[in-house]
Amino acid sequence: MRSCVALVVCVAALTAWTVSADAKELFITTIKEEPYVMSKGSDLEGYCVDLLSELSKKLGFKYKLHLVKDNRYGALDASGAWTGMIGEIVRGEADLAVAPLTITAVREQFVDMTTPFMQTGIGFILRKDLSSEGSAFSLLSPFSTETWVGILIAFLLTGLCIFLVGRISPTEWAEPDTEVHNFTLLHSFWYIAGALTLQGAGPHPKALSGRLVSAIWWLFAVMLLACYFGNFNSMLHSNHKHVSIQTFEDLANQDLIDYGTVEGGSTTLFFKNSNNPVYRRIYQHMERKKSYVSNMKEGLRRTQEGNFAFIGEAVSLDLVVARFCQITRSQEVIGMRAYSIAAPSGSPLVKNLTVAILQLSESGELSYLRDKWWASSCEGGASDNPSDALHPHDLRGLFLLLGLGLAVGLLLALLELLSRARNQAKDSKKSCCSVLTTELNRRFGSRGESSEQDGSDKNKA
């Protein structure tokens, strides 16, 4: 019986509030911050705008949304007055504050806040090159993986080309039946490996075609080594102040990278009131360096410029990481907190808004809004860093030069063999094609005319 009476009372209260809400248009304050509230022409859009729209449908109220005048969330100033959205609620200038507004003990003393619509914590963002740890394969870092694969392919092709030129060119191998072929496949690879390390590995080619291929490979090796050591030196100089920052303790224990948070926000109060010595050192550093920023946009800009770590709400930082690929967020999240809607103390709106938020959470609507506005779309990858590894397109001219040299070398070797075949054809009065075919058979494993001669000698015997 008591439960029925309580239910009737709640329904009556909700109905009475709905009727009064219909008669009165609510003034709601918010703050522009991506993706919670953003401009779209003359209108506003974002997570909080959609959330407010869903709440108004459930509770049946009309509202007028405006941006907070001083672009602040809300903090006590030196005179004890509230600034930002909390100040507008306290002074009666707004009925609700719908924004990524953190629940704090100080704010709860002056305004009422609903159940959280989003859970978060405190993290920090910085450039990936400042957070990455040293790699055991740092010697390979001047070139990208694709470039190393291209160099390996170029090495194999050049070794094979030297081997073919040594076999085809009559200047290099005049009498296949009697002479030993110096440029075997193994020696060809050993020869170009010696050239790649600026060391000699004889014997050297004698034919014009072989010398051309060797010269092109030497030029390729010298320019490749110059690119490697130049980029490696650039990386060493650009990272001479490199430190690996993974946690807040790493951040507090170094002075090479500056860091800060939004001035006067709840994150600043967290570090100010914390008894943790690491967090206290972070607050003292921000106070000493005056490294605060006016808003998150400025914090992101300074982070992208380098040598700065921006401390803020983890859920907002996740959006930055989803949009900018060269930025990373710390895995450590401290000071777990939540976002809520603020209303004047004693307001009848709070209870009904709390129930509506819980209903949206249970139906999955809050998760849908999170996925909608936090979709990943990276802008400006890590290739913007001038000290990044060289990619194949950076060395395409060098690879094209090598490919052209190998092709010309093989063509010269074939012309040398063709010239010899023509001379032999004139002397023996045979066709040039048959002599050329016989020469190729002798040089690539077939016995050619020697096999036929051996067979005729056996028949005569």
**pLDDT by residue (tens digit) across 249-301?**
988 988 888 999 998 887 898 899 899 999 999 999 999 989 999 888 899 99
pLDDT score, position 26: 93
Q: What residues form the annotated binding site?
A: 100, 102, 107, 266-267, 313
Indicate the SS3 state at residue 273.
helix
**H or E, element range at 337:** strand 334-344
Give the domain 2-123+340-373 fold.
D-Maltodextrin-Binding Protein; domain 2 (3.40.190)
pLDDT score, position 68: 93
pLDDT score, position 33: 86
> Are the C-beta atoms of residues 122 and 278 closer than 8 Å to each other?
no
pLDDT digits (tens, 9 = 90+) for 166-214: 888 888 777 776 667 677 888 888 888 888 777 766 777 888 888 898 8
Query: Virtual CA dihedral for 72, 75, 76, 77, nearest 10 degrees?
Result: -40
**Nearest CA among 328, 316, 310, 298 for reference residue 261:** 310
More confident residue, 92 or 421: 92
pLDDT score, position 419: 81
pLDDT digits (tens, 9 = 90+) for 346-368: 998 999 999 999 999 999 999 99
**Nearest CA among 111, 118, 68, 110 for reference residue 349:** 111
Cα–Cα distance between 79 and 65 in angstroms, integer?
A: 28
Would you give the end-to-end CA distance of the chain in angstroms?
127
- Domain residues of the chain, as ranges? 2-123+340-373
> Are the C-beta atoms of residues 184 and 206 closer than 8 Å to each other?
no
Cα–Cα distance between 382 and 385 in angstroms, integer?
A: 6
Least confident of 15-24, 82-91, 124-133, 362-371: 15-24
For residue 9, pLDDT beyond 70: no
CB atoms within 10 A of CB 445: 9
pLDDT, mean over the chain? 82
Least confident of 48-57, 341-350, 377-386, 429-438: 377-386
Cα–Cα distance between 203 and 182 in angstroms, integer?
A: 7
Can you read off the two tokens belonging to residue 357?
A: 């938020």
pLDDT score, position 132: 55
Amino acid of residue 171: T
Q: Using pLDDT thresholds of 50, 70 and 90, give the confidence band for residue 137.
A: low
pLDDT score, position 20: 44
pTM: 0.51
pLDDT digits (tens, 9 = 90+) for 62-80: 999 999 998 899 888 888 8
pLDDT score, position 378: 64
Q: What residues form the annotated binding site for L-glutamate?
A: 100, 102, 107, 266-267, 313
What lies within 8 Å, CB to CB, of 18 at 6+ separation is 59, 60, 61
Cα–Cα distance between 310 and 322 in angstroms, integer?
A: 16
**Nearest CA among 307, 300, 325, 330 for reference residue 382:** 325
CB atoms within 10 A of CB 113: 21
For residue 456, pLDDT beyond 80: no
